Amino acid sequence: MRTRDVMTTDVVVVSPDLPARDAARLLAERGFTALPVVDASGALVGAVGETELLRDRLPQDPRKLVHGEPVQPRDKPADLVVQVMTKPVTVTPNTDLSEVADLMLQHGVRSVAVVDEGHLAGIVTRRDMLRSISRDDWIIEAELRHRLDMIGSAHRWTVEVSGGRVSIVDRMNDATDRHIAEVLARAIAGVTDVRFVEYAGS
């Protein structure tokens, strides 16, 4: 599967000159963990997340002073998104989802921006990826049968799906068509493995 198969294209974005407090409110209200930052031309220029927006923003409890506890000095919190945004982790619409998962784990992020020719095309979150691998077997099977109809009649192929693992029987045992069938199957969200079973009929 590729990024384009699971990415969200209707993305909430913020501008670099948005007040940081407004970005924090947007994260809290919408349940996001990070937001892409785009300029007036639509180019992706950064990302802002919970960590950046929390930094130096919560004052220490003044009751510490009553009890004589030391209060550590803090820097003035940033006013604008541009002052706290970071370099985003990006992929393209054609990036393999296995690479996307590796990037998320490597950088410790929950989402990555999808960029096409410098402009934001979408976003992929861990939730998107989890949703793709947890689809019901019957949905995967129905989608695969529909795709296989393009390279032969419905009676030619026998398909079974269990736990995302696909088994296919090709009554014609054609190597070229089997290769095409495997490509079609592996491109379906939720498929974890594909194997072919030799046709035993006459």
Structural domain of residue 80, as residue ranges? 3-133
pLDDT for 39-88, tens place per residue?
A: 998 889 999 988 888 776 555 666 655 666 666 666 677 789 999 899 99
d(CA 132, CA 153): 28
Structure tokens at 43: 């180019």
What is the pTM for the complete model shown?
A: 0.68
Whether 19 is in a domain gets the answer yes
Same domain, yes or no, for 36 and 84?
Answer: yes
How far is residue 193 CA from its own chain's centroid?
20
Q: What pLDDT, on the 0 to 100 scale, is given for residue 5? A: 86
Q: Mean of the pLDDT values across residues 7-28?
A: 92
Whether 202 is in a domain gets the answer no
State how many domains the chain has.
Answer: 2
In order of 23, 32, 68, 138, 190, the CA distances from 52 in angstroms are 11, 14, 30, 42, 34
Mean pLDDT of the chain: 86
Residue 154 confidence (pLDDT) above 70: no
d(CA 66, CA 124): 48
Q: In terms of Cα–Cα distance, which of 120, 127, 142, 169 is closest to 9?
A: 120
Q: Mean of the pLDDT values across residues 110-120?
A: 91
